[in-house]
Structure 1
Amino acid sequence: MMSFIDSVKSVLMNNFANFKGRASRSEYWWFTLFEILAYFITGIVDGFLFGWGYYDPTWITWILQLAIFLPGLAVAIRRIHDHGKSGWWILMPFYNLYLMIAEGEAVPNSHGPVPTNVLA
């Protein structure tokens, strides 16, 4: 299983916009947790700097969203590839939620070898 730190490094440094290959469940879910924590912390910083009332996202939130959108999409598509499916399945929200949770194929498929959970 890939650790939290290894997952974040893998997605942000090695596979930032890599839509080819496969991602393990641990890589995907650890990075999803990182995204949630980043948004939470950004919300707190926004609250301290700009007030706690209802507001439109500030420039801090926009920068984070722009920085995390592409790698988040890439790791989700690579997670779908782990099932031997096309990345276009990302457009089917409930089905791809199942694919994110279910174990991938245990053998190499057309998208690459089985993820090893080792940071290269």
Structure 2
Amino acid sequence: MTVNTNMIHCSQCGTQMHVSAAACPSCGAPSARAEDTSSNNPFFWYKTVFSKYAVFSGRARRKEYWMFVLANAIASFGVGIVDALINGHTILSNLYSLAVLIPSIAAAVRRMHDSDRSGWWILLPIVNLVFACMEGTRGANRFGNDPKQPLK
């Protein structure tokens, strides 16, 4: 049996795809080869989470989750300042909160999956915080491949 070295598996859904693919043909997740997972720019990770807007399957490493949280806090602060300067009401802040609600929940669910836990744990805030800080399981688990491991 020969191994096709031109094929990799999607880190989100496990679908087999060609190494040159920029995104998974099944779920649309960016290819790990196409992502710069070493980026320390929080807005790179913010964009990454938004590219998986309502993807609740797969895994999110700590860096992806916490950089998204940081970028979201910065953006929320900025929108709040603009809101206060423009009209003194919270219309823009409310719209922004509504826009980031689903990606925030999806990222938190994927973060739980990284430690091989059900996404339902996000309903318990203190436990969720502890689990979100813990390192994910090494290697593949029932939710997908390890996002820290290079794809073979």
Q: TM-score range by the shorter chain?
A: 0.7 to 0.9
Matched residues in 2 for 1:12 and 1:84: separation? Answer: 23
Matched residues in 1 for 2:122 and 2:131: separation? Answer: 10
Matched residues in 2 for 1:39 and 1:31: separation? Answer: 12
Q: Determine if contact 2:84/2:90 at 8 Å carries over to the other structure.
A: no
Matched residues in 1 for 2:119 and 2:94: separation? Answer: 26
TM-score (normalizing by structure 2): 0.69
Of 101, 104, 109, 2:136 maps to: 104
TM-score (normalizing by structure 1): 0.86
Identical amino acids, percent of aligned pairs? 39
Q: Does residue 39 of the first structure (1) align with residue 76 of the second (2)?
A: yes
Q: Per-residue displacement from partner, 1:15-69 (whole Å, max 9, x unpaired)?
A: 1110000000000000001111111001110111124xxxxx5221121011111
Q: Max radius of gyration: which structure?
A: 2
Unmatched runs of 5 consecutive residues or more in structure 1: 52-56
Matched residues in 2 for 1:41 and 1:103: separation? Answer: 31
Provide the residue aligned with 2:126 in structure 1: 94
Distance 1:28 1:69, change over 3 A: same
Q: Does residue 28 of the first structure (1) align with residue 60 of the second (2)?
A: no
Provide the residue aligned with 1:76 in structure 2: 108
Give the letter for the 1:58 counterpart: T
Moved over 6 A (4+): none
SS across alignment from 1:67: helix
Q: Per-residue displacement from partner, 1:94-119 (whole Å, max 9, x unpaired)?
A: 1110111110101200000001389x
Distance 1:63 1:117, change over 3 A: farther
Higher helix share: 1
- Asked which structure has the greater RCO (Cα within 8 Å, sep 6+), the reply is 1
Q: Determine if contact 1:27/1:117 at 8 Å carries over to the other structure.
A: no
Matched residues in 2 for 1:9 and 1:35: separation? Answer: 10
Unmatched runs of 5 consecutive residues or more in structure 2: 1-37
SS across alignment from 2:137: coil
